[in-house]
Structure 1
């Protein structure tokens, strides 16, 4: 077992970071999570102020740290610009292992997370890149939650393209192993749920479980880009997000089903039907929470 504070979770209140922290609590495994707003810190023993865009927060966050879970800053089309200095400082401070949250849609040669993936392979003694498919939690905590609650709609530009939707808990289990295993993984893990589903399939499952008439509306790429801009994304990042849907629709980029969860964690991945039955009550209340 590691000494206090030897594992740092960036994005500590996001979908995966919070779940990793919960599992570490159960295992009584010491860690620190990062909080961007210092006023929001409630447990100074487990939370530390950190901001990707304020390098004065880097060293304090890295105090006595040997392993780091990396979540890129949300909405930044070139996160390597701020992550590279942090990774270099972390290496100088003795950090040995890095686990990066990336995306199944984005290879190491791809945009956004790709350059960070390449950087870790080049510089880090021990590394893992997690490449999960789309989160099931997007329907309960993310961008689809409010449209389901208010309009019985799921909106995308993915058409009939299929996606290996995966639970954030399952991603966290793989991350946990990558962080804690004695032997470094030194590889990428493409992480999916057990089924590859279209948004129409998802709508049908939610409808059958909840009794609501939820439908999927596939919109144009331009419409989707405008919707991303409307919630405050930059033009470059909005176009990047739309391109992901186009690839799902036209190139089957997320039509995946891997054995990663059970192979790495030993746990059977949650199906979307199981997820929907567990969270059916969520769609009876209006609201959304855009966590990563």
Structure 2
């Protein structure tokens, strides 16, 4: 049994679907599960035993909006090890490496807790620009995307490519026992992202650059807790300094196929979203 925490989320639902397609017994865990899932809340330990029953591997997505998830995640992971879980694949971020605090601490301890493990460190999601994500709504309704990244580039990645790497890390006979820095095939600035959105959607979209303080205030106005809003703004500051201007071959190395481009992703997801 493979437990997919956050199994209704952006990557979790794809991971769960791919595991099921390949015949792996899968348990979908979320705070609001469907009939075939199980209720799981990082902050409610009474939901943990049922989620862990007969589980051998876990896809672990941190609690959303938590600046320091280590005190919440590590007791559960220790319980999972005691319950017989052998392999854990952690979804982290390209902006976070192994460290003594926050999600970096969970990353650093994963190899101590489990004989078989992997940490996925994807770049920013292409998903951020479609559906009901803030950038997507802003692009549709105001004709702009707003960031504090300046002209710096990011190796945006398709969540389906992240999920494919996750499935391999969960199921390959030989454990990966490493961290995977995952990007798309090209690094793009937000100006370039706006140009692709304009082309594919048929609506003009521009990129408006603001400072990190203004961005944090914008996040807070959209309902994000102030501490997490400042954290998100700090990630844009790091991008502006060049921290995400890179691409890797991880998707191809692990899965055997090239990652999807942002233009192809948008053509797929925005096909029925053109005006007129």
Counterparts of 1:282 and 1:22 in 2: how far apart (Å)? 24
Structure 1 moving runs of 4+ over 3 Å: 281-285
Provide the residue aligned with 2:269 in structure 1: 279
Instruction: Label 1:257 to 1:110 Cα distance change in 2 as closer, same or farther (>3 A).
Output: farther
* Equivalent residue number for residue 102 of structure 2: 112
CA shift in 2, pair 1:211/1:284, >3 Å: closer
Distance (Å, rounded) in 2 between the aligned partners of 1:215 and 1:110: 39
Match of 2:225 in 1: 234
Partner-residue secondary structure (3-state), 1:69: strand
**8 A contact 2:203–2:274 mirrored in 1:** no
1:280 Cα deviation from its structure 2 partner: 2.3
Offset at 1:110? 7.1
1:235 is displaced (CA, Å) by 2.3
Matched-pair contact (CA < 8 Å) for 1:84–1:116: yes
Q: Number of aligned pairs?
A: 274
> Contact conserved, 2:70 with 2:101, CA < 8 A, in 1?
no
2:9 is equivalent to residue 19 of structure 1: no
Give the TM-score normalised by structure 2: 0.95
Find the aligned partners of 1:174 and 1:185 in 2 and give their Cα distance.
11
Report the equivalent of 1:121: 111
Partner of 2:202: 211
Give yes or no for contact 1:148–1:283 (8 Å, CA) kept in 2.
no
- Could you list the runs of 5+ residues in structure 2 that have no partner in the other structure? none
- Counterpart position of 1:245: 236
Tell me, yes or no, if the aligned pair for 1:145 and 1:283 is still in contact at 8 Å.
no
* Partner residue in 2 for 1:158: 149
Q: Is the 8 A contact 2:3 2:58 kept in 1?
A: yes
Unmatched 5+ stretches in structure 1: 1-5, 286-292
Per-residue CA distance 1:137-182 (angstroms, 9 max, x = gap): 1101422111111111111111111000000000000000000001
Q: Secondary structure at the match of 2:59?
A: strand
TM-score (norm. length: structure 1):
0.90
Q: Deviations over 1:10-37 (max 9, x none)?
A: 0111110000111122212210011213
- Note if contact 1:149-1:284 (Cα within 8 Å) is conserved in structure 2: no
**RMSD of aligned C-alpha atoms?**
1.4
Deviates more, 1:217-226 or 1:107-116: 107-116
Q: Which residue of 2 is the match for residue 139 of structure 1?
A: 129
CA distance in 1, matches of 2:13, 2:63: 16
Once residues 63 and 222 of structure 2 are traced to their aligned partners in structure 1, the CA distance between those partners, rounded to angstroms, is 16
**From 33, 36, 45, the counterpart of 2:28:** 33
